[in-house]
A and B are shown apart, each in its own frame.
Chain A
Amino acid sequence: MSKKILTVDDSKTIRMIIQRAFRAHDCAFCEAGNGEEGLAAAAREKPDLIILDITMPVMDGITMLTKLRQDPELKVTPVIMLSAESGRDSIAKIAQLGISDYLIKPFKEEQLLEKAGKVIPLTLKAAA
């Protein structure tokens, strides 16, 4: 069964890289460019996984995650947080947010797939 992944990042580059990482897997994607759009997309699409950047305009990832956890229908949605900041304090703060995992940029596709695979079952696309 196809898994739905919501990517929330203000960088179109990152959203494309994420989607490409899952090209061999049976996944459907939706995307948002900031936390506000992300919340709307999450409510509409009910994704199986959210990959969420921290630093974004309009609404950042931490605010979006806080609001997500207040929504009864979305609060258990697994979230993998993305960040360009790998400092000890940043990681400690991220870890306290009730996320499934986090990924520091730069990252390899394999790293993302490994972390996503621990959170949701990924199946390969059927051979054409």
Chain B
Amino acid sequence: MTTNLTNEVLDLLNGSVTEVFNTMFSLEAKPAAPHDLQASGETLVAGSVGFIGDVNGVVYLQVTAAFARVLASLMLGMSEDEIEGDEMVNDVVGEVSNMIVGAVKSRLCDSGSSCVLTIPSIVRGSSFHVEPTGSSNRRALSFQCGADHLLVELLMKPSK
């Protein structure tokens, strides 16, 4: 049952990422083979949103800092030069994470698995890994948007 639920959430994430990127950025996020975002040594930005209730888990959305600025530029209708500092970029990544996981949460509630969302949080760095604790499962989805990549990591706690 846990594996089925995890697969259900992964399917929902797949659809949600595609929809959010198409709607908010007019970008096609295509499911892709695993891509090591850290291999280039670039700074990464990860937005995370959790869900708590009948199902419990957290989703991390990782992109390079450079791609995050592109996304912020597209979402805000500003040139990258006009975006000063990281605050607005972080807000965009957080909001995108919220939209993606919000859609998943809605579908889970409709199917009878009630849960609520946590607030988004942002992590920045060039070398970090998302690792599950002993009791949770980790699954990952990779997407490609043109020349850029997106990694979505799901950590889920087994259902009671």
Residues on A facing B (Cβ under 8 Å): 11-14, 16-17, 20, 55, 57, 83-90, 105-108
A84 contacts B98, CB within 8 Å? yes
The residues in B between 134 and 160 inclusive whose CB is less than 8 angstroms from any CB of A are none
Residues of B within 8 A of A83 (CB): 102
Residues of B within 8 A of A11 (CB): 91, 94-95, 98
Which of these binds chain A: B2-10, B16-24, B36-44, B121-129?
A: B16-24
Lowest 4 CB-CB distances: which A-B pairs, in order? A84-B102, A87-B106, A106-B23, A87-B109
A13 contacts B110, CB within 8 Å? no
CA distance A17 to B119 in the complex (A): 20
A17 contacts B109, CB within 8 Å? no
Partner of B105, one of A12, A57, A85: A85
B103 contacts A84, CB within 8 Å? yes
Residue interface bits B76-105, CB-to-A below 8 A is 1, else 0: 110000000000100110110011001101
Given contacts A11-B95, A87-B110, A89-B109, contact A105 B102 (CB under 8 A): yes
Residues of B within 8 A of A14 (CB): 95
B20 contacts A106, CB within 8 Å? yes
Chain B: CB-nearest residue to A16: B76
B106 contacts A17, CB within 8 Å? no
CA distance A89 to B115 in the complex (A): 12
